[in-house]
A and B are shown apart, each in its own frame.
Chain A
Amino acid sequence: MVEEEGFRRYVAHIILWIGIAIVAFPVYIAFIASTQDNALIANGQMSLLPGGHFFETYYQTIFVGTSGSTREPVGNMMLNSLVMALLIAIGKIAISIISAYAIVYFRFPFRMPIFWIIFITLMLPVEVRIYPTYKIVADLHMLDSYAGLALPLIASATATLLFRQFFMTVPDELLEASRIDGAGPLRFFWDTLLPLSRTNMAALFVILFILGWNQYLWPLLITTRDDMQTIQVGIRKMITTTDALTEWPIVMATAVLAMLPPVFVVVAMQKLFVRGLVETEK
């Protein structure tokens, strides 16, 4: 940490505060808008201070939804998003740590080709392979299901690579000591490698949870039933109304609610997250 003295320090702090204001202001506006009356917002007379509709708006958002014909309580959308994000994050970590273990610690035929195949999928994100992926999910009758939402996003080259890099920094002697101590491959994985990967898993969980939570295109395609909507898709649908005024307080409340789980995850796992990114505990 560089300790700056006097003036320079104030300048640095002022710049930081300006940055924070720029980032935080839209969030503040969203929150204010969610507590105001819709007519005021539509007229462009919104105050910058909280209005008096906080409980009313949030109650309606979470438990009832908009007053349009395709209303869906946001509480349900959040549950869908949460299940999807958790399935993606946990599924990805589970699959990729196992595949990285196989690639780093076992000598099997076509080990390198398999590694390269995994590596190449980095160049094929969901958007690129969306038609075949949709076809497969549809043929497997997984449209409008949690499995359909999560499975195609689970196989992950990035996470596999991350664990591979980490495993390669674990000293070979640790494996050898385990072998002499009578631990087989599964024991070594469970007793030594998993505990050592804890911080990496936490960092990855944070990133993947947010990635899953923010999915838009894929859930939009494969969910048709309103009760399977995720919150990101739901917000978009709320804004486009055909025959009525957009209910901005509810849209804004939904936006604020959509922000909360990622914020909670980041705050709760911040310590582990930072350690997972910077520290190698060996």
Chain B
Amino acid sequence: MGSLHTPCVLTNPHSPFPTRYSPVHPMANVTLRNVRKTYLGGFEAIKGVNVDVGDGQFCVLVGPSGCGKSTLLRMVAGLETVTGGEIDIGGRVVNQVEPADRDIAMVFQNYALYPHMSVFNNMAYGLRNRGMKETEIKSRVDEAARVLELTPMLERKPRQLSGGQRQRVAMGRAIVRQPKVFLFDEPLSNLDAKLRIAMRVEIRKLQRRLNTTSIYVTHDQLEAMTLADILVVMNGGQVEQVGNPLAIYEKPATTFVASFIGAPPMNLMSTRPEEIRSQLTGGAAADAGILGIRPEDFVITDQTPAGGVALPLTVEAIERVGAETFVYGSREQEEQRVAATPGELPPGEIIVRIPGTEAPAIGAKIRVAALRAKLHLFSGDGRTRLEA
């Protein structure tokens, strides 16, 4: 590439891609300041979101359907109007800027390829509209096609491509633009499971290499965990928690986040029953209304670790998936299990994840325990995390 430009820093020095293709990009933080979206009828889809995505970072918006994550992304793209707050891309407030002038590129869930144009023209279209020279267009498209392994398909029409190939064309259309920000709207949800995992890795590699600020919307918590530098968990138009994915996993701020991030979901139970109340000790325990324990933090044991919690269970069902076994057990005295939202287990059921070598018999009475450090305590309404 030209000597005028300083190639961007590669996050991964062992990247299999040659460093030659490292488009220059200007600094592009994306900052959302108290962003709101109220529809004409008065429905508030986004209720004041504050997120700061640093230059080159990969931000994932995750949440159940209807939580406003796609709306928020479309607001950043300029496809939806902003009714409150500011969207700032690279130091410029873009609330009133047309999508084409925001220096963003978007990958749609259904790819939105132009069906009547060849792969080459699909990628070149946006560049032509900007009046770029044909030679420059050709070199950019060829380069993107090479990286995405689309070179043999440049003359084909989208309908002659497989789902995965179409997805790559959609990616190619985004990267030839060399934008400040990539926006992904559930780009993998139309692919089958195997391809989805492969493309997930591809997207991450590509983003690392191009080092372009990215915002990615998904409802799949696994996709969110594996892709994100910054994870934004949304629910009902609000941000529940922002942060490093592992930090969120380890310290979920609300019961919603606790049950949404991690599969199978965290077991949440009321602290009211004497059985549990009596086992909780320490400062915050008195205020806690909800106790959460991840399935993987339980062990089957007769001992009770100091400060930890032990529960007697009756095994209702087991699922053996090879590397691990999931045990679904019911608590005898459970009268009210806390209502969490997604991936909800039937009330009173506790899920335990143990090594695949073990498998208790159905109907067996077992006793499971978790260490003090593995307990998550929340206020009674589930909105506040309490630290021990």
**Central interface residue in A171, A174, A180, A195, by most chain B CB within 10 Å:** A180
Residues of A near B21 (CB, < 8 A) are: none
> Are A173 and B116 in contact, CB atoms less than 8 angstroms apart?
no
Which residues on the A side are within 8 Å of B108 (C-beta)? Answer: 173, 176-177
A187 CA to B100 CA, complexed, in Å:
13
CB distance from A167 to the nearest CB of B (A): 14
CB–CB B116/A196 < 8 A: yes
Size category of the B interface is 20 to 34
Residue contact A182 to B126, C-beta cutoff 8 Å? yes
Report B-chain residues with C-beta under 8 Å of the C-beta of A173.
108-110, 112
Residue of A180, A187, A282 touching B99 (CB-CB under 8 A): A180
B125 engages A181 (CB within 8 Å): yes
Residues in A178-204 with C-beta less than 8 Å from chain B: 179-183, 187, 191-192, 195-196, 198
Q: Are A177 and B112 in contact (CB under 8 A)?
A: yes
Which of B104, B116, B130, B159 has the most chain A CB atoms closer than 10 A to its own CB? B116
Least CB distance from B285 to A in Å reads: 51
**A183 x B104 contact (CB < 8 A):** no
**Among residues 157 to 203 in chain B, which have CB atoms less than 8 Å away from a CB atom of chain A?**
159, 173
**Could you say which residues of chain A place their CB within 8 Å of the CB of B362?**
none
Q: Are A171 and B105 in contact (CB under 8 A)?
A: no
Is B114 close to A, CB under 8 A? yes
Of residues 131 to 158 in B, which have CB atoms within 8 Å of A's CB atoms? none
CB distance from B81 to the nearest CB of A (A): 12
Please give, as numbers and ranges, the residues of chain A lying within 8 Å of B79 by CB-CB distance. Answer: 176, 179-180
Nearest-Cβ distance from residue A282 to partner chain B, whole angstroms? 6
A243: interface (CB < 8 Å): no
Q: Decide if B115 is an interface residue (CB 8 Å cutoff).
A: yes
For this complex, 26 residue pairs linking A to B, each with C-beta atoms less than 8 Å apart, are A171-B110, A171-B112, A173-B108, A173-B109, A176-B99, A176-B108, A177-B112, A177-B113, A177-B173, A179-B78, A179-B79, A179-B99, A179-B100, A180-B77, A180-B99, A181-B100, A181-B125, A182-B126, A182-B130, A187-B129, A191-B114, A195-B116, A198-B116, A281-B115, A281-B116, A282-B115
Q: Beyond the given A180-B100, A180-B104, A182-B130, could you list 17 further A-B residue pairs with CB under 8 A, ordered by the A residue number?
A: A173-B108, A173-B109, A176-B79, A176-B108, A177-B106, A177-B108, A177-B114, A179-B78, A179-B99, A180-B79, A180-B105, A181-B125, A181-B129, A181-B173, A182-B129, A183-B129, A196-B116
